[in-house]
Structure 1
Amino acid sequence: MSDLSVSHVEFFVGDARQAAFYYRTAFGFEAIAEGGPETGLTDRRSILLAQGDIRLLMTSDLTSDGTVARYVARHGDGVANIALRTGDAEGAFRQAVGHGAEPVAAPSVVEQPDGAVTTAAVKAFGDVVHSFVQYAHEGQLPGPHLRALETSGKVAGGEQLHALDHFAVCLPAGELARTISFYQHGLGFSEAFEEFIEVGDQAMESKVVRSASGAITFTFLEPDVRRKPGQIDAFLDAHGGAGVQHLAFGTSDIATAVKKLSSYGVEFLHTPATYYDAVEGRVGSLGGDLDVLKELSVLADRDDWGLLYQIFTRSPHARGTFFLELIERRGAQTFGSGNIKGLYEAVERAQAGAGAGAR
């Protein structure tokens, strides 16, 4: 499956309108479509948000016992469907199921006014699914009951975020190898990076896989049961199993993005000043960027191809089980080892011995 890309990411939330308002006002997304009883979506409400190439779909139940409500009761607000765009949804479904994926929805074709959309779905990890979406042409909406909005609540200030860079997923111990195998054989991904990370008495295994198209990247994290329980274990306990720990949004100017989003009320994790005393010894000279990175608590790292800058938000959720990342790549294609450990340590500081994520 060499043509896979992300169509959209669907969040199951307690209140779609409230969640959409948060992403609009805090991150500058634009509401471009909505569905509910008035459009034929009888049991739920969905709002589609856009910024750059990013599409986020906020969905909530209109009853207390529906699929979305059950998900939220178990996990809290979070990512439930990472929809993958492909030119052959039926073929992608068959390949995934042929390599052991649990089918969720068989291929079906829905005729829309602007052309047919073919969809299918398989289980990915935990209660997260992958939908396969085949569009007739560019610009189609991902569901028959979504209607384009004539006006939106776009926040002034311009687009700060342009693409989904990667997904970070926490897995229970013992599931990493099987999950990586599925993405390799069932979805045609390849392993791009791996690392064993130790922080004090805690440790975890990290592996990164990337789609054949290069458009989709997953970082999978598994705790080492031979060590003391840590933040991955805490996430799994609070979230109720495997799930998406964070999404990373790509930006072309992380300093401007952090300043702008901070002015909208987004809180970012703090990095101690001592981190910057040694960073140039690890990644090379940062020139005038060093003072800016230090001021904003942005992490710096390097791989074989270049630099990358990263920063992580505090979780807006009560359980602390989901947060967001901003990343600027200056040539880097993978991840430097220092920032993975840096994230772990930053989250540890934020948790301060209580909770599950970057609170």
Structure 2
Amino acid sequence: MRTSIATVSLSGDLRSKLEAIAAAGFDGVEIFETDLLTFEGQARDVRRLCEDLGLEIVTLQPFRDFEGLPEPLRSRAFSRAERKFDLLQELGTDLFFVCSNVSPHSLGGLERIAEDLYELGERARQRGLRVGYEALAWGRHIHDYRDAWEVVRRANHPAVGLILDTFHIFCKNLELSTLRRIPGEKIYLVQVADAPALEMGALPWSRHFRNFPGQGQFPLRQFMAALRETGYGGYLSLEVFNDQFRTAPPKETALDGYRSLVYLQEDEPPKIRTSGVAFVEFAVSEQMAPVLGDFLKGLGFRKTGQHRSKEGVSLWQQGQIHLILNAEAGSFAQAYNQLHGTSVCAVGLEVADLPAVLRRAQTYKASLFLGPTGPNEHQIPALRGPEGILIYLLEPPADYRQFWSVDFVLEEGLPLQAGLERVDHLAQVMPTTQVPSWVLFYRTILGLEASNLLDIPDPAGLIQSQAVENADRSLRLVLNTSQGGGTLASRFLSESHGGVQHIAFSTRDIFTTLENLLAAGVRLLPIPPNYYDDLEARYGLDPELLQRLRRLNILYDQSPEGEFFHAYTQTFDDLFFIEIVERRGYNDYGAVNAPVRIAAQSRLIRS
């Protein structure tokens, strides 16, 4: 199917929108009427601009409050339509887009509406135009695509067809069996939008929270399967109303839109298998490298390797966790450090089929990074990730020690100390406008699935949090953002320019691990006593267990699947912090405890 997007989906003026749409690779564009009215030229100038950019104008939309009106409103509606016909012809498009009536003056009745559409279709046919009819979810009489199809069927005119919009279908949980029986030639346009699962009215949900396919929770693959059965072969067009998109650069948003349609048209996306985090790389200055090293020693990490050709690069290990400290002058890490301070500049992810992932990255126009490779170095491809972080991709080696020995001179016989075993998850902070984009990135290229968006209270506002995970949860990433200027996430974004704010390491015995950390001088985040009083009331925990939790500043949560224990270090150099987690069948992130943790961190910052 050919691809299109409505100009209302992007920020900017009409010219910049059209240029962004063409650059992204779309075949066509829906011109939103407001964009045309505010354009500095005339309709024929828009037509010429689209022709120069290689874009077909699919339609001008919307035309509202037309059908089912009493006189004299009915005659006025037809007069309005005739004037719009003139405009369509000047634009060089043939599809007249009619939304179902929301006016209180509309009288309704399927036969009455069908008669109006027949007459409109006859007038359109005489001018070489077609009429497409769409059911708005909040339409006064027609608010279901099945009723809209019945009206089109009764109109029985060769120039009258149906327009479908996935938002209007799925916001009302409508079934798709009727869609499968609609002849493809009677479907004139298909608009697609995804959305998060929200409990609110259809109109505000539509006007503010639509997003691109792959960024929400609608079952769009089911819709596409039903649509294919109709034989439809026309445009697949994005119509997205989203407050974040309206403030984001149009070229980035348009490119995400194009990627989403590529993703949506895959019959069955290939199973991309990932198996966790291979390594985490820190960008650190020469002065801060020893300080970070001491911090890691307290956590039980030991330096196990020195790079063979780069004096400023070292390898640290514990369990299956591999950390790289990069203080090498002139490197990507040093450039990252100058902007972000001591921070995670890269992560390595394990993928089962590296060539397949790289092909998907190319298909979805991801930015590939291939840095300079010196002697005794692996050449590991990377993708640009959130806030400039590098995401290295590698197939897990049979023997990691042998793998690291290529780049590093390894030391022998160093014991593990604190009981940390794996990277449980990484939490990234980014601008609000970028969260949907990176959800789409992780879903389309790495096959991760997204959770619902959570609102987490912060003393200075709200933090929005969304997780992306692989099927067995061996790879978990948390995407955090906030529009409140004083929240913990916002401060990290403004002062450190975003990126990875915290790393969670897993252990099988959090009590022993934390005892080891305390003995090594690690400062844990102090949790207020009131939390444990409430914990006792909520869960009725054994008094001895509760006392151990209190003494070690451990937070606790339960789910039907199991229990979750987690604790936090204090922030390293006011930049990032470490979370220690023990999961006993529990699959979430302890979001119920996040306000307690954030408030405790905020108190330390103030003090």
Q: TM-score range by the shorter chain?
A: 0.7 to 0.9
Tell me, yes or no, if structure 1 residue 322 matches structure 2 residue 576. Answer: yes
Higher Rg: 2
Match runs of 1:123-162 below 5 Å: 123-134=384-395, 137-139=398-400, 140-142=402-404, 144-150=406-412, 152=414, 154=415, 158-162=417-421
Q: Secondary structure at the match of 2:503?
A: strand
Contact conserved, 1:100 with 1:186, CA < 8 A, in 2? no
Give the whole-Å Cα distance in 2 for the aligned partners of 1:283 and 1:95: 46
Identify if the C-alpha distance between structure 1 residues 106 and 80 changes in structure 2 by more than 3 Å, giving closer, same or farther: closer
Shift of 1:249: 0.9
- Once the two structures are superposed, what CA deviation does each residue of 1:99-144 show, in whole Å capped at 9, x if it has no partner? 2421112899x998xxxx6621101111211101235532233474
Aligned pair 1:11/2:282, yes or no? yes
Question: 1:85 and 1:143 mapped to 2: Cα distance?
Answer: 18
Q: TM-score, normalised by structure 2?
A: 0.51
Which of the two has greater helix per residue?
Answer: 2
* 1:339 maps to amino acid: N
Partner in structure 2 of residue 27 of structure 1: 299
**Which residue does the alignment assign to 1:50?**
317
Q: How many residue pairs were aligned?
A: 333
SS at match of 2:322: strand
1:67 correspondence with 2:67:
no
Question: What is the deviation of 1:213?
Answer: 4.2
| Partner deviation per Cα, 1:328-358 (whole Å, 9 max, x = no partner) | 11221112331122222222122117xxxxx
Contact 1:12 1:78 (8 Å CA) reproduced? yes
- Rounded Cα–Cα distance in structure 1 between residues aligned with 2:455 and 2:335: 35
8 Å CA contact 1:17–1:47 kept in 2: the answer is: no
Query: Given the alignment, which residue of 188, 208, 219 partners 2:478?
Result: 219
TM (normalized to structure 1)? Answer: 0.84
Letter in 1 for 2:321: I
CA contact (8 A) 2:274 2:475 kept: no
Are residues 280 and 180 of structure 1, via their aligned partners in 2, closer, same or farther at CA, if it must alter by over 3 Å? farther
Query: Could you tell me the percent identity over the aligned residues?
Result: 24
* Higher normalized contact order (CA 8 Å, seq sep 6+, divided by chain length): 1
Give, in angstroms, the shift of residue 149 of structure 1. 1.9
CA RMSD of aligned residues (A): 2.6
CA distance in 1, matches of 2:293, 2:589: 32
Which SS does the other structure have where 2:346 is aligned?
Answer: strand
Residue segments in structure 1 that go unaligned for 5+ positions in a row: 354-359
1:285 aligns with 2:541: yes
1:91 Cα deviation after fit: 2.2
Matches within 5 A, 1:1-359: 1-15=272-286, 18=290, 21-35=293-307, 39-41=308-310, 45-61=312-328, 63=329, 65-105=330-370, 119-134=380-395, 137-139=398-400, 140-142=402-404, 144-150=406-412, 152=414, 154=415, 158-223=417-482, 225=483, 227=484, 229-239=486-496, 241-317=497-573, 320-352=574-606
For 1:3 and 1:107, locate their aligned partners in 2 and report how far apart those are by CA, in whole Å: 26
Task: Tell me the secondary structure at the aligned position of residue 407 of structure 2.
Answer: coil
Displacement of 1:54 in angstroms is 0.8
SS in 1 for 2:370: strand
Name the SS of the counterpart of 1:292 in structure 2. Answer: helix
Once the two structures are TM-superposed, the CA of residue 272 in structure 1 deviates from its matched residue by 0.8
CA distance in 2 between counterparts of 1:274 and 1:312 reads 18
Q: Matched residues in 1 for 2:597 and 2:405: separation? A: 36
Instruction: State the one-letter code of the partner of 1:265.
Output: G
Match of 1:67, as an amino acid?
Answer: F
Map Cα deviations across residues 75-101 of structure 1 (whole Å, 9 max, x no partner): 111111110122332322221342242
Aligned partners of 1:180 and 1:170: how far apart in 2? 13
Using a 3 Å threshold, how does the CA distance of structure 1 residues 246 and 304 change in structure 2: closer, same or farther?
A: same
Measure, in 1, the Cα distance between the counterparts of 2:449 and 2:356: 19
Corresponding letter in the other structure for 2:393: F
Instruction: Please tell me the residue identity of whatever aligns with 1:232.
Output: A
**Greater per-residue strand proportion:** 1
Q: Which moved more, 1:20-29 or 1:198-207?
A: 20-29
Deviations 1:255-285 (A, max 9, x none): 2211211111110111110111111343453
* CA distance in structure 2 between the aligned counterparts of 1:132 and 1:272, rounded to whole angstroms: 41
Q: CA separation of 1:327/1:275 partners in 2, compared to 1, >3 Å: closer, same or farther?
A: same
What SS does the aligned partner of 1:315 have? coil
d(CA) in 1 for partners of 2:440, 2:539: 32
The structure-2 alpha-carbon separation of the partners of 1:312 and 1:93, relative to structure 1 and needing over 3 Å to count, comes to same
Which residues of structure 2 form unaligned runs of 5+? 1-271
Letter in 1 for 2:350: R
* Residue-by-residue CA offset, 1:208-230 (whole Å, 9 max, x unaligned): 1112342110111110x3x4531
Q: Once the 2 structures are TM-superposed, how far is the Cα of residue 8 of structure 1 from its aligned partner?
A: 0.8
